[in-house]
Structure 1
Amino acid sequence: MRTIRFSRTARTSVLGSAALIAALSLTACQSGSPSAADTSTATESQKPSGTSAAPAAATDEKAAEGSGASGSSSGKPDAKQPQDSGSNSGKDSGRDDSGKLPTCTDTNTKLTVTSVKRPVNHMLLTVTNTGSKSCYAYSYPFLRFGEAQSVPPAVEDSRPQSVVVLTPGQSAYAGILTSSADGSGEGGYSTQDLTVGFQGADGRPAGAMADVPLSTEVFVDSTLAVTYWQTDMDDALMY
């Protein structure tokens, strides 16, 4: 009876050990513990897909920096730096720092006056730019015949559409009505003295009055008048 009981106990122990080993093996399989081969495979397959993105980004940044450098060296203007718009290429060489042309005066012009046959009792005043810069001939000339205390009025119908600009060597003209053809003028007198002055943009005298020689005495009366400066002599003598 003892032998039989021992055998059952041993069998039970052996069977229990086998069951325990099988249970442990099953537990190990179910827990998903990777083998060495599985671990190697997982390590390769689970590498972050963006591992190579950092060098690519750096490459892109360098490329962006390179394109910016090539853009600045290709002549593209920097928004922070003022650029030459090229306006000076069309700028008149006679303009001053403010961009305006100087006024025609006795210092940069020459004045001459001549008598004409038609219309009667008229003279032609010519101004020529003798300077190296263009100048504005504003409005009309101030005239003083002899000892006159005032300058004659302008013929308003002769006012041009814009200010006359004289380039170096160019001339402008003003017609002078010395006296009435029908004798209706008053206070007439004869003189061989004439001084001419220029106007500025504000209508005030610009420069000094210049002496303009007359070849003969001229008779003037209360109808004395002068036209605005004209670019054509025919326009100056039509009033």
Structure 2
Amino acid sequence: MNTRRHRCTLLAVAGTALALSLTACQGGTDSDPASAGAPSAAASATSSGTAAGDGKSTGTSDSAGSTGADGSAEATGSSGSSGSSGSSGSSGSSGSSGEQASASAAVCTAGDITVTAVRQDGPPYTHLVLTAKNTSHRSCRLAGFPHVQFLESHKQDVPSVAKSRPATPVVLTPGAPAYALVKFSDGGTDEDTEPVSAFSLTLEGDSTVIAVTAPGSDGIAVDPAKALTGYWTPELRNGADDF
């Protein structure tokens, strides 16, 4: 009898323990759905965030749309400035062809120009400025330098100064002048000078002698050993015409 009761007691205790363990297991199982619910909420929050994000990205696409083809159309419109390519017409710069035409102009002769002379600077006078003016009705090219002879006793031409040579041909339209600087002495009192009231000049390409009147009532005092002449130029230039 006692043994049977003891077994019953053990069974009862074992049943109670099993019931408790089942209850505990059920409690743990209930906690799993609760914890599982959090990820689903996070997922829904994320999905809503993504949706919101999509809304924002859609918004940016709208702003991109506002940047859209209108802006690019305006930029394309500015390409209308390609009309300025019309300036390429100037690329046909007739300047070079004009220079070629100028270079092909006939050489000036004594009958085309008038030559005058004035003193340059103040005393002591050492240089003359020759001016050759085109008095004809056609354009002509004034070549090289003036071939000057100051004295009958010195038949050789006054030497030329190479650095004064202009870079382009000197072409004179009707009425236009050209210039040449001529040195006749160093201006010293102990020089071997001779008075000159007029001198002769010829042009390149024409042997006709042009008589030029020397400036001043007494003319100029020429030292043939110091005389030099520059090339004809459209204007006198500092440096190139200093000698």
* TM-score normalized with structure 2 length: 0.51
Superposed displacement of residue 208, structure 1: 0.3
Q: Whole-Å Cα distance in 1 between the matches of residues 115 and 185 of structure 2?
A: 21
SS in 2 for 1:157: helix
**2:239 matched to 1:233?**
no
List structure 1 runs of 4+ shifted beyond 6 angstroms. Answer: none
Whether the aligned pair in 2 keeps the contact of 1:105 and 1:197 (CA below 8 Å) is no
Equivalent residue for 2:134?
Answer: 129
Which residue does the alignment assign to 2:178?
A: 172
Contact 1:174 1:233 (8 Å CA) reproduced: yes
Q: Is the 8 A contact 2:164 2:241 kept in 1?
A: no
DSSP-derived class of the 1:139 partner: coil
- Cα distance in 2 between the residues matched to 1:207 and 1:190: 25
CA gap of 1:184–1:134, structure 2 versus 1, over 3 A, is: farther
Do the aligned partners of residues 135 and 193 (structure 1) sit closer, same or farther apart at CA in structure 2, a change above 3 Å counting?
Answer: same
Q: Structure 2: which amino acid aligns with 1:226? A: T
1:215/1:183 Cα in 2 relative to 1: closer, same or farther (>3 Å)? Answer: closer
1:1-239 to 2 correspondence within 5 Å? 100-117=104-121, 120-147=125-152, 148-182=154-188, 187-200=192-205, 206-216=206-216, 217-221=219-223, 222-235=225-238, 237-239=241-243
In 2: Cα distance, 1:101 partner to 1:207 partner: 19
**Could you say what the CA RMSD is over the residues aligned between the two structures, in angstroms?**
2.7
Query: How many angstroms does 1:238 deviate by?
Result: 3.1
> In structure 1, what is the equivalent of residue 77 of structure 2?
none
1:173/1:233 contact within 8 Å kept: yes
Call closer, same or farther: CA 1:124–1:91 in 2, change over 3 Å. Answer: closer
Paired letter, 2:156:
S
**Letter in structure 2 aligned against 1:193:** A
8 A contact 1:123–1:176 mirrored in 2: yes
> Partner amino acid for 2:141?
Y
Q: Return the alpha-carbon distance in structure 2 between the equivalents of residues 231 and 184 of structure 1.
A: 35
Q: How many residues align?
A: 141
Gapped regions of structure 2 (runs ≥ 5): 1-93
CA distance in 2, matches of 1:237, 1:120: 16
1:188 aligned partner, one-letter code: T
2:221 is paired with a residue whose SS is strand
For 2:222 and 2:111, how far apart are their aligned partners in 1? 28
2:109 counterpart SS class: coil
Distance in 2, matches of 1:100 and 1:134, equals: 10
Distance 1:103 1:183 in 2: 40
Q: Normalising by the residue count of structure 1, what TM-score does the alignment of the two structures yield? A: 0.52
Counterpart CA distance in 2 for 1:110 and 1:176 is 17
Cα deviation, residue 162, structure 1: 2.0
| Deviations 1:20-56 (CA, angstroms, capped at 9, x unpaired) | xxxxxxxxxxxxxxxxxxxxxxxxxxxxxxxxxxxxx
Secondary structure, counterpart of 1:194 in structure 2: strand
Q: What per-residue deviation string (whole Å, max 9, x for no partner) do you get for residues 30-89 of structure 1? A: xxxxxxxxxxxxxxxxxxxxxxxxxxxxxxxxxxxxxxxxxxxxxxxxxxxxxxxxx9xx
